[in-house]
Amino acid sequence: MKIVIQKFGGTSVATPEMRAKAVQKVINAKKSGYYPVVVVSAMGRKGAPYATDTLIDLAKNECVDTHPREMDLLMSCGEIISSVVMVNALRAKGYEAVALTGGQAGIITDNNYGNANILRVQPDRIYMYLEMGKIPVVAGFQGVTESGDITTLGRGGSDTTAAALGKALAASFIEIYTDVDGIMTADPRLVPNATVLKHLTYSEVFQMADQGAKVIHPRAVEIAMSCNIPLIIKNVNGNGPGTMVSSYYESDYLKTIEHDPNQVITAISHMLNRTQITIENLNLELQNTVLNRLAENGISIDLINVFPNKMIFTIDGDDSAKTTTILEQLGCSYSAVYNCSKISAIGNRMRGVPGVMARIIKALHKNQVHVLQTADSHTTISCLIKGEDTAKALVALHDEFKLHTR
């Protein structure tokens, strides 16, 4: 049985017209001899009636703290609604389909509500429907704990559902349908001349996603990499080839990029809404206490620089109030810079190439972008900048490394 996973993101299932396009992709897969397993996101983006953000706002507007368990139950509804609507669209075209919640599809998670980890997938029920000739349509972004509570997998987590099902069902490939032509050299909303990358390795895409490229969830990339199943990111509007993500470049493609000095960078990712925290007059004991208290409260920190009596790090802007409360309780003298962005240049081929950081800093300074902090690994260079400079900085780096020629 040749299985293909076809995941449709929020915009791909937002309207009857878009769902008709999604249904056609499923029919095409069936006609090519595959058994499609469909995964859907909640319909539409922020503002749409059944979008995840709308459900979150519903809870926030109640002015009472919704417990994480109930919050997950609420958030899971968007994908459940979408699965039923998609089943109806398939049936209207004469294809028998069956809607499944994440739990019914066999996705078992821990109880880390809001960002649950998949413990295992029991795909028996999916196989049963496939053997009956029905198309399973699984609600993405959710699972169920051993004790039967519904959980969600973190924002953007329908990609994770798709990859986890792909692995459990040993799919031939995993298709991620979205509203752009594939994985691009930068977010096309901010960099108008960004281009589609035809082939990428799992590790490059993981770095891009981990550094904020929303187009795919980093966990989905990790899962696909762990079982070496190709991930294909495509536009639901049209028939372009999209981006093929696998463990190696095809050799003809590699030849076109490996000797070009401009091709040390593959893409530029960005993360909005970061807060930079600086704590002064710290002794070792207080440093440890601060780090422990942040971890206990589930606040993840990034771009961490520790000095003998000072510490600088960044956090998600949404964690700012929680963090400053902790620092005040501990009597720390701190300052915070809100609304920062982290931009990251990513490329496996920058390894050992001198002068990449110098080019980045020079390009940013030339465009009057003030750098607040930097960090680097052998395949990534990140700079923290002011949020208002994000588009300017992305375009400057995109131009500097001639990414439009990729």
Contact residues toward ligand ADP (CB under 6 A) are 9-12, 41, 156, 178-180, 183-184, 186-187, 189, 208, 213-215, 267
Q: By C-beta, is 184 or 340 nearer to ligand ADP?
A: 184
Tell the smallest beta-carbon distance from residue 194 to ligand ASP (Å): 21
Please return the burial class of 201, using the count of CB atoms within 10 Å of its CB with bins 0-12, 13-18 and 19+.
middle
What gap in Å lies between CA 5 and CA 231, rounded to an integer?
10
Task: Residue 11: name its binding partner from ligand ADP, ligand ASP, Mg ion, none (Cβ under 5 to 8 Å by kind).
Answer: ligand ADP
Q: By C-beta, is 161 or 287 nearer to ligand ADP?
A: 161
Q: Which residues contact 55 (CB under 8 A, 6 or more apart)?
A: 42, 74, 75, 77, 78
SS3 185: coil
Q: What phi and psi values does residue 316 have, to the nearest 5 degrees?
A: -65, 135
What gap in Å lies between CA 356 and CA 350, rounded to an integer?
7
Tell the smallest beta-carbon distance from residue 58 to ligand ADP (Å): 20
Q: What angle do CA 253, 254, 258 make, to 5 degrees?
A: 135
Tell the smallest beta-carbon distance from residue 396 to ligand ASP (Å): 30
The count of residues in the chain is 406
Please return the burial class of 283, using the count of CB atoms within 10 Å of its CB with bins 0-12, 13-18 and 19+.
exposed
Q: What phi and psi values does residue 115 have, to the nearest 5 degrees?
A: -155, 50
Question: How many distinct helices (H) and strands (E) make up the chain?
Answer: 12, 18
Query: What are the start-end ranges of the E strands in 95-236?
Result: 97-100, 107-109, 118-121, 135-139, 142-145, 150-152, 173-178, 199-201, 231-235
Which residues is 386 bridged to in the sheet? 340
SS3 115: coil
Q: By C-beta, is 139 or 384 nearer to Mg ion?
A: 139
Query: What are the start-end ranges of the E strands in 264-309?
Result: 267-280, 302-307
Tell the smallest beta-carbon distance from residue 42 to ligand ADP (Å): 9
Q: By C-beta, is 157 or 347 nearer to ligand ASP?
A: 157
Task: Residue 180: name its binding partner from ligand ADP, Mg ion, ligand ASP, none (Cβ under 5 to 8 Å by kind).
Answer: ligand ADP
Tell the smallest beta-carbon distance from residue 194 to Mg ion (Å): 17
Task: Residue 183: name its binding partner from ligand ASP, ligand ADP, Mg ion, none (Cβ under 5 to 8 Å by kind).
Answer: ligand ADP
Task: Residue 140: name its binding partner from ligand ADP, ligand ASP, Mg ion, none (Cβ under 5 to 8 Å by kind).
Answer: ligand ASP
- Residue ranges in 125-184 that form contacts with ligand ASP under rule CB under 6 A: 140-141, 155-159
x-or-dash string of contact with ligand ASP, 26-55, rule CB under 6 A: ---------------xx---------x---
Q: By C-beta, is 208 or 245 nearer to ligand ADP?
A: 208
Task: Residue 78: name its binding partner from ligand ADP, ligand ASP, Mg ion, none (Cβ under 5 to 8 Å by kind).
Answer: ligand ASP
Binding site for Mg ion (CB under 5 A): 9, 156
Q: By C-beta, is 102 or 347 nearer to Mg ion?
A: 102
Q: By C-beta, is 118 or 396 nearer to ligand ASP?
A: 118
Q: Are the beta carbons of 346 and 391 closer than 8 angstroms?
A: no
Q: By C-beta, is 39 or 364 nearer to Mg ion?
A: 39
List 10, 106, 136, 212, residue binding ligand ASP (CB under 6 A): 10
Tell the smallest beta-carbon distance from residue 134 to Mg ion (Å): 26
Tell the smallest beta-carbon distance from residue 306 to ligand ADP (Å): 31
Which residues is 107 bridged to in the sheet? 121
Tell the smallest beta-carbon distance from residue 71 to ligand ADP (Å): 20
What gap in Å lies between CA 198 and CA 274, rounded to an integer?
31
Which residue of the chain is nearest ligand ASP when measured via CB?
158
Q: By C-beta, is 23 or 326 nearer to ligand ADP?
A: 23
Burial letters for 106-120: b for 16+ Cβ neighbours within 10 Å, e otherwise?
A: bbbbeebbbbbebee
Q: Please give the radius of gyration of the chain, using alpha carbons only, rounded to the nearest integer.
A: 22
Query: What are the start-end ranges of the E strands in 308-358?
Result: 310-316, 333-346
Tokens coding 207: 């770095």
Residue of 42, 76, 43 lying closest to 150 (CA atoms): 76
Tell the smallest beta-carbon distance from residue 237 to ligand ADP (Å): 11
Tell the smallest beta-carbon distance from residue 124 to ligand ASP (Å): 25
Q: By C-beta, is 183 or 372 nearer to ligand ASP?
A: 183
Amino acid at 217: H
Chain residues in the site for ligand ASP (CB under 6 A): 9-10, 41-42, 52, 78, 140-141, 155-159
